[in-house]
Amino acid sequence: MRTKNFKVRLLIGLAIVAFAYLRKCSQQEENPYTGRTQTITLSPEQEIAIGLQSAPQMAQQHGGLYANANYQDFVDKVGNKLVNTSVAKQTPYQYEFHLLADEKTINAFALPGGQVFITYALFSQLENEDQLAGVLGHEIGHVLGKHSNERISEANFWKTIALGADVGADLGSFASNIGNNTLLTNGREDELESDDLGVKFMIDAGYNPEEMIGVMEILKTAAGPNRVPEFKSTHPDPENRIEHIKEAIEKYEK
């Protein structure tokens, strides 16, 4: 009886895994802006809606918006210049740039659909307009690269795989660990792709792309000697990012 039950569970588990793979194959599409094939489940309209809905909460988590209209106008000017001089202008996304009041957390991030944020802690460390362009260009790259969309889609795929593995052979935690490691690796690739796109956006807008290296030095200093090892982080080590940025500069300035 136990053998029969195990066979039934195994067949159900295999069916779930097969369904997950077939569904993933049907969700593959080429990103028209990067040329890369991705697993995508959200439409641009859904991405925009998620970003707009999440933006107020994200701002609140960082102390709200920074209360200096001149600084905010400066961020808007640089962000809009990057969008209007690049392929980003051809996307359906609604780009908006927000300077957050957080004076402790050195960070910048983007939500699906075009909501871009930079904390005052990072903004205040930047030495010039070109470095700000490097930060915002990188975040625009995340939006255009559909990275959040892809991560959501991939995470759902691995959840289904873990379910099938658990039903079939009690291997759900094993499959889940594989999925988490895969998502970490993919996350690091997203950062490098965004750096590459950010360099191109800077050049298109007339900024000095070498200044993005200065941004990496700021991030490296902020992380300090106890920064998380690369293999445990969604972000590549700043030293590795600098090498890729140099390669991107050479590629796009030819």
Q: For the ranges 8-17, 150-159, 162-171, which has the lowest average pLDDT? A: 162-171
Q: How far apart (Å, rounded) are the C-alpha atoms in residues 114 and 45?
A: 11
What does the pLDDT read at residue 253?
A: 81
Q: How far apart (Å, rounded) are the C-alpha atoms in residues 95 and 85?
A: 13
What does the pLDDT read at residue 139?
A: 95
Helices (H), 99-237: 120-123, 129-144, 147-169, 172-205, 211-223
Q: How far apart (Å, rounded) are the C-alpha atoms in residues 127 and 215?
A: 9
For residue 97, the SS3 value is: strand
pTM: 0.76
Q: Confidence class of residue 222 from pLDDT cuts 50, 70 and 90?
A: confident
204 contact partners, CB below 8 Å, separation of at least 6? 82, 85, 86
* C-alpha R_g of the chain: 21
Residue 26 predicted with pLDDT over 90: no
Residue 159 predicted with pLDDT over 70: no
Q: Report strand pairing: 115-119 vs 108-110.
A: antiparallel
243 contact partners, CB below 8 Å, separation of at least 6? none
Q: For the ranges 54-63, 87-96, 178-187, which has the lowest average pLDDT? A: 178-187
Tell whether the torsion through CA atoms of 21, 25, 31 and 36 is positive or negative.
positive
* Count of residues in the chain: 254
Q: Confidence class of residue 8 from pLDDT cuts 50, 70 and 90?
A: low
Asked if residue 112 lies in contact with residue 58, where contact means CB atoms within 8 angstroms, the answer is no
Q: For the ranges 2-11, 46-55, 97-106, 203-212, which has the lowest average pLDDT? A: 2-11
Three-state SS letters, 134-167: HHHHHHHHHHHCCHHHHHHHHHHHHHHHHHHHHH
pLDDT per position as a tens digit, 103-139: 999 999 999 899 999 999 999 999 999 999 999 999 9
Q: Confidence class of residue 155 from pLDDT cuts 50, 70 and 90?
A: low
DSSP class of residue 231 equals: G
Q: Quick one: 233 exposed, middle or buried, by C-beta within 10 A (0-12, 13-18, 19+)? A: middle
> Domain residue spans in the chain?
3-252
* Token digits of residue 232: 């445990």
Q: Confidence class of residue 244 from pLDDT cuts 50, 70 and 90?
A: very high
DSSP class of residue 90 equals: G
Q: How far apart (Å, rounded) are the C-alpha atoms in residues 219 and 115?
A: 22
Asked if residue 85 lies in contact with residue 204, where contact means CB atoms within 8 angstroms, the answer is yes
Q: For the ranges 67-76, 145-154, 222-231, which has the lowest average pLDDT? A: 222-231
Residue 88 has a CB neighbour count (10 Å cut-off) of 22
